Amino acid sequence: MLSKKTRYAILALVRLAKEFGKEPLPISQISKDEMIPQRFLESILLDLKRTGILGSRLGKAGGYYLIKKPEEIILLEIVRRFEGGVAMLSCVSHNAYQPCEFYKEEAKCKIRKVFGKARDASAAILQKTTLADLV
């Protein structure tokens, strides 16, 4: 299940994608339009700015804007940024692997095999989905 932070990040990015190439959007407008608590949104947008996805402008006409085109921003990148990965079990994770605490012979574990396939399918879908697809 995605965290609120990840869902809010995606909502905010989709909103910014709709305005791509226009004036920056004030955080208050994004917060209001997407019903995201403003204080929480500030943290999320700063994180996205640090990763090079967003830019910002100060002042009366200030706000946030996408640095990259919406078709260049891959959903998998966003999910991994905030969730760490797409695997539901740490024993099938590529980025946060940890040995299974329940089954010593992971290679024979049927549960692990199913969740590995689920991870691969989820990652494939998110890899080919961009912000442009969600606008």
- Region 96-105: mean pLDDT is 78
The verdict on pTM exceeding 0.85 is: yes
Question: What is the Cα–Cα distance from 122 to 125, expressed in whole angstroms?
Answer: 5
Q: Please give the pLDDT value at position 99.
A: 79
Is residue 104's pLDDT more than 80? no
| Dihedral sign computed on CA atoms, order 78, 79, 85, 87 | negative
Q: Please give the pLDDT value at position 91.
A: 85
Q: Share the mean pLDDT of the chain.
A: 92
pLDDT in tens, 47-88: 999 999 999 998 888 899 999 999 999 999 999 999 988 988
**Measured between alpha carbons, how far is residue 76 from residues 2, 7, 58, 129 in Å?**
12, 13, 30, 8
Question: What is the Cα–Cα distance from 30 to 41, expressed in whole angstroms?
Answer: 9
Cβ atoms < 10 Å from Cβ of 84: 12
Token look-up 């969600």 returns: 134
Expressed in angstroms, the distance from the first to the final Cα of the chain is: 22
Is residue 111's pLDDT more than 90? no
Cβ atoms < 10 Å from Cβ of 31: 21
Q: Say if CB 79 and CB 2 are below 8 A apart.
A: yes
Is residue 103's pLDDT more than 80? no
Backbone angles phi, psi at 86, to 5 degrees: -115, -5
